[in-house]
């Protein structure tokens, strides 16, 4: 197992591919861990150095008490990149992972050469929405919200027929309450509109056509903010790398080719 230690937590990472390969860092969404990228990785070009990590309170990474701030989550991602001495990173962020990517690109233009925003935005939801969610899971646990969350994550076809579906439910409900609530607080406090508008690096944005968490129009508005190209992925909800890995890989591969050093 691979780890990076910060001043307060041990972060679970997976660092694959040649050490001198082009660095691609993948940051996952709320209530998920680094396994969401499993189906995508074999479809990406050979020779990449691909680094994944479980964010604070998720997967095998330590959970500190809630609330967390977006600055804290960005600092964790920065610690992963600096701890591995990565440079010229293509940072791929899904949902809250995309907020982390926007924050890191603004803070460390020396580190991030290109950004992929997957089902994310410069601001997601309202403070009230996130506070309601925090209150519910603190009172009743994540399982109480699992039904509607999974309806936003995946299309009906996937939920009804895919044998993996119950495992994604397990991943969500086994997330620590501190980690889930902590990240809800970080999203609630994050309005990255101005810093994302100021980004000048190449940005690719995409969204599942049936994403119920960050719908295509919301993602498109953030793409427009920073001059990104934008694509809709058919037959996908909030997590296209799970539901449509081939379509996601095609967009990512094409972007990597066009932004090669």
Ligand X SMILES: O=C(O)CCC(=O)CC(=O)O
| Residues contributing to the site for ligand X (CB under 6 A) | 29-30, 95-96, 124, 149, 152, 213, 238
Q: CB of 45 within 8 A of CB of 51?
A: no
Select 72 or 253, whichever has its Cβ closest to ligand X.
72
Q: What are phi and psi of 241, to 5 degrees?
A: -65, -25
Select 145 or 256, whichever has its Cβ closest to ligand X.
145
3-class DSSP assignment, residue 111: coil
CB of 203 to ligand X, least distance (A): 18
Distance CA 52, CA 71 (A): 19
Select 77 or 124, whichever has its Cβ closest to ligand X.
124
Select 78 or 211, whichever has its Cβ closest to ligand X.
211
Relative to beta strand 48-53, strand 112-118 is unpaired
CB of 217 to ligand X, least distance (A): 15
Q: What are phi and psi of 155, to 5 degrees?
A: -70, 160
Closest by Cα among 12, 179, 17, 176 to 79: 12
Distance CA 169, CA 131 (A): 22
CB of 233 to ligand X, least distance (A): 16
Closest by Cα among 130, 78, 115 to 222: 115
Select 97 or 245, whichever has its Cβ closest to ligand X.
97
Select 168 or 255, whichever has its Cβ closest to ligand X.
168
Closest by Cα among 129, 225, 235, 112 to 184: 129
3-class DSSP assignment, residue 82: helix
CB of 43 to ligand X, least distance (A): 22
Torsion of CA 239, 206, 39, 166, to 10 degrees: 10
CB of 172 to ligand X, least distance (A): 8
Distance CA 213, CA 155 (A): 12
CB of 225 to ligand X, least distance (A): 18
- Angle CA(248)–CA(260)–CA(102) in degrees, nearest 5? 60
CB of 260 to ligand X, least distance (A): 29
Question: Which tokens hold the place of 133?
Answer: 């969610």
Select 214 or 259, whichever has its Cβ closest to ligand X.
214
Residue of closest CB approach to ligand X: 95
């Amino acid at each position: 197992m691979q780890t990076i230690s910060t001043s307060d937590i041990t972060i679970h990472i997976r660092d694959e591919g040649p050490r001198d390969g082009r660095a691609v860092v993948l940051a996952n969404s709320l209530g998920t861990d680094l396994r969401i990228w499993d189906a995508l990785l074999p479809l990406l070009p050979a020779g990449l150095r691909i680094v994944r990590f479980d964010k604070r309170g998720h997967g095998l990474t330590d959970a500190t008490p809630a609330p967390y701030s977006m600055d804290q989550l960005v600092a964790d991602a920065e610690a992963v990149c600096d701890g591995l001495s990565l440079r010229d990173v293509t940072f791929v962020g899904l949902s809250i992972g995309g907020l982390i990517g926007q924050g890191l690109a603004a803070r460390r233009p020396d580190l991030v050469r290109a950004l992929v925003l997957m089902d994310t935005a410069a601001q997601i939801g309202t403070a009230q929405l996130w506070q309601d969610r925090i209150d519910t899971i603190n009172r009743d646990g994540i399982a109480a919200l699992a039904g509607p969350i999974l309806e936003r994550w995946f299309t009906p076809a996937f939920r009804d027929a895919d044998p993996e579906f119950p495992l994604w439910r397990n991943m969500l409900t086994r997330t620590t309450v501190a980690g889930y609530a902590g990240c809800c607080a970080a999203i609630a406090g994050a309005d990255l509109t101005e810093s994302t508008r100021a980004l000048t690096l190449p940005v690719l944005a995409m969204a599942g056509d049936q994403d119920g968490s960050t719908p295509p129009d919301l993602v498109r508005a953030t793409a427009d903010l920073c001059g990104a190209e934008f694509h809709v992925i058919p037959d996908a909800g909030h997590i296209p790398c799970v539901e449509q890995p081939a379509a996601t890989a095609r967009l990512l591969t094409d972007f990597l080719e066009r932004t090669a050093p």
